[in-house]
A = this chain, B = another copy of it.
Amino acid sequence: MIVRDFDEIIKTDRDRVVSDARWTSVRMLLANDGMGFSFHITFLEEGSEHTFEYKNHFESVYCMKGTGSITDLATGETHAIRPGVMYALDKHDRHILRAEEELVMACCFNPPVTGDEVHQPDGSYAVPKEA
């Protein structure tokens, strides 16, 4: 059994805390935990806007705190984000995520993120090394 505490990770396990332009992600589970998915708590800064396209991953994102919106760039449709709303990128959907207030999101990735990925210019993560 793995037990991890968000507050302890923030204080003592900074390798699990990854930041990029106006977002921070705390990796509670990564590929080497052997669960077959990774699990992250991700913060998006108030007023920020992000274009992502996880070409090589499925991702689900559950809003725990904050408000914003997501636009599906294939359809142009925009959905409000507030606590309790989840979106799942079952078609590796290219999208824009906007944080009106700071967003705090619980994210699952399949295949699991290894922790070594960087966002590529197209908004994707590279294919996992294991693939």
**A108 at interface (Cβ–Cβ under 8 A)?**
yes
**Complex CA distance for A39 and B106, rounded to whole angstroms:** 10
B3 in contact with A110 (CB, 8 Å): no
How far is the CB of A78 from the nearest CB of chain B, in Å?
A: 10
How far is the CB of A110 from the nearest CB of chain B, in Å?
A: 4
**A47 at interface (Cβ–Cβ under 8 A)?**
no
Copy count, this protein chain = 2
Q: Looking at chain A's contact residues, is the secondary structure mostly helix, strand, loop, or mixed?
A: strand
A residues apposed to B, CB below 8 Å: 1-7, 28-29, 33-37, 39, 41, 58, 60, 62, 64, 70, 72, 74-75, 79, 84-91, 93, 95, 106, 108, 110
